[in-house]
Structure 1
Amino acid sequence: MEFALNHITTPKLPLDAFFALARKLGMKRVEIRNDLPDIVGQVPPSEVRASAAAAGVEIAAINALYPFNDWSGDLPERALNLADYAAEAGAKALVMCPRNDGTEIPQTALVDALGQLKPILSERGLTGLLEPLGFPVSSLQSKALAVAAIEEADGNACFRLVHDTFHHHLAGETGVFADATGLVHISGVTDPALTVAEMLDDHRVLVDAADRLENVPQIRALMAAGYTGPFSFEPFAPDVQALDDPESALRASMDYFATSVG
Structure 2
Amino acid sequence: MALQFALNHMTVARQNYTDAFDLAAMLGCIGVEFRNDLPSELFDGDAPDMVKAKAKASGLRILGLSEVKMFNAWDDRKASEAEVLLTIAKAIGAETISLIPRCDGHGCGNGERQANLRLALREILPMLKSFDIVGLVEPLGFEHSSLRYKSEAMEAIASLGGEGQLKLVHDTFHHYLASETEIFPGATGIVHVSGVEDHDLALQEIGDEHRVLVGPNDRLGNIEQLRDLLDAGFDGPVSYEAFSPIVHNFAQPKDELQASMRHLDSAVSAETSLLPG
Q: Please report the TM-score for the alignment, with normalisation by the length of structure 1.
A: 0.97
Cα deviation for residue 46 of structure 1 reads 2.2
2:158 is aligned to: 151
SS of 1:132's equivalent in the other structure is coil
Aligned partner letter, 2:6: A
1:189 to 2:196 alignment: yes
Alpha-carbon distance between aligned partners in 2 of 1:199 and 1:210, rounded to the nearest angstrom: 15
Cα deviations by residue, 1:209-256 (Å, 9 ceiling, x for unpaired): 000000000000000110000100000001101111000000110111
Three-state SS of the structure 2 residue aligned to 1:4 is: strand
State which of 236, 248, 262 in structure 2 corresponds to 1:241.
248
Give the superposition deviation at 1:108: 1.6
- 3-state SS, counterpart of residue 106 of structure 1: helix
Separation in 2 of the partners of 1:207 and 1:28?
Answer: 19
Q: Which residue of 1 aligns with 2:81?
A: 78
Q: In the alignment, which residue of structure 1 is the partner of 2:22?
A: 20
Moved more, 93-102 or 50-59: 50-59
| TM-superposed deviation, 1:18 | 0.9
Distance 1:85 1:41, change over 3 A: farther
Q: Is the 8 A contact 2:211 2:244 kept in 1?
A: yes
Q: Is the Cα–Cα contact under 8 Å of residues 62 and 95 in structure 1 kept in the other structure?
A: yes
1:60 pairs with 32, 38, 63, which one? 63
- How far residue 47 of structure 1 moved from its aligned partner, in angstroms, is 2.2
Pick from 118, 140, 143 the counterpart of residue 111 of structure 1: 118
Give the residue type in structure 2 aligned to 1:194. Answer: L
Deviation at 1:73, TM superposition (A): 4.7
Q: Unmatched 5+ residue regions in structure 1?
A: none
| 8 Å contact from structure 2 (residues 185, 229) kept in 1 | yes
Give structure 1 regions of 4+ aligned residues with deviation exceeding 6 angstroms.
none
Alignment of 1:1-262 (within 5 A): 1-36=3-38, 37-39=40-42, 42-104=45-107, 105-262=112-269
The runs of 5 or more residues in structure 2 that have no matched partner are: 270-277
Over aligned residue pairs, what C-alpha RMSD do you find? 1.2
Report the secondary structure of 1:235's partner residue. Answer: coil
For residues 57-100 of structure 1, give each alpha carbon's deviation from its aligned partner in whole angstroms, at most 9, with x where no partner exists. 11000121111111125111011010001000100000111000
**CA–CA separation in structure 2 for the residues paired with 1:28 and 1:258:** 15
The TM-score, its normalising length taken from structure 2, stands at 0.92
**Residues 40 and 85 in structure 1, CA contact (< 8 A), matched pair in contact too:** no
List per-residue Cα deviations over 1:101-130 (Å, max 9, x = no partner).
Answer: 001152122111111111111111100000
- 8 Å contact 1:33–1:40 — kept in the other structure? no
Distance 1:186 1:122 in 2: 28
